[in-house]
Amino acid sequence: MIRTIIFDLGGVIITLDQTESIKRFKALGVKNIEDYLDCYTQVGIFGDLEEGKITAEDFRRELSVICGHELTFEECKHAWLGYRADLPERNLNALRELRKKGYRLVLLSNTNPYMMSWAESNEFDGHGNSIHDYFDACYMSYKVGVMKPDEQFFHKVLQGEKALPEECLFLDDGTRNVAVASELGIRTYLAKNGEDWTHDLFEILEKEA
């Protein structure tokens, strides 16, 4: 029986628009931004930020050097938030319904302090609630110190939740991430960015009940 549902943030809870983020970073002066950004895993100082190797302030300073002029936290945040395309109300409704049904909801995301400064604020859902009002626990790569698809990220979540792999269902839009979770015995569902996964999820849960 599924007791814990683990969600990715980008591509599942929120829809992604990488092109907008690239546009914003280029506007700041990062000419070769495509060398740093990927739909699933970032590299260079971008990856270091999401893996927790550097702080948001370290990132701001280093990106300022790359751009050739001083950047503010808000400018960096604005560029990162270009990834955020939409937060469908249907997803929020699904999370509310799942909690009512007694499932434990967990967030497992490759993310960074800039994105989470929005997600953890009362601006998250447009109704004055933060992401913590929808999840029982949140595991962010920059705080855990490891990134998907590293299996250690999943081990840390299972250990932290004291959960059995076979009692967990993991939703993610990355094929590599889903494959690693599946190898660990976790039930998985491959979501597609922008598509409605809510009906499929409730059908899976109904069959497992």
**What pLDDT is recorded for position 70?**
98
Give me the DSSP letters along 127-141: SS--GGGT-SEEEEH
Residue 8 falls in the annotated catalytic set: yes
User: What pLDDT, on a 0 to 100 scale, did the predictor assign at position 52?
Assistant: 97
18-83 belongs to CATH 1.10.150.240: yes
pLDDT recorded at residue 175? 96
Same fold, 4-15+86-208 and 18-83: no
Residue 110's contacts (CB-CB under 8 Å, 6 or more residues apart) are 10, 40, 41, 42, 50, 141, 147, 148
- pLDDT tens readout for residues 65-98: 999 999 999 999 999 999 999 999 999 999 999 9
Instruction: Check if the beta carbon of residue 91 is closer than 8 Å to that of residue 78.
Output: no
CATH number, span 4-15+86-208: 3.40.50.1000
Domain range summary for the chain, segments of one domain joined by +: 4-15+86-208, 18-83
Map tokens 């943030």 to a residue: 9
pTM for this predicted structure: 0.95
Out of 8, 48, 172, 173, the active site residue is 8
Q: What is the mean pLDDT of residues 179-206?
A: 97
Say if residue 39's pLDDT is above 90: no
**Mean pLDDT of the 146-159 span:** 97
Q: Which residue has the higher pLDDT, 209 or 139?
A: 139
Mean pLDDT, to the nearest integer, of 134-157? 97
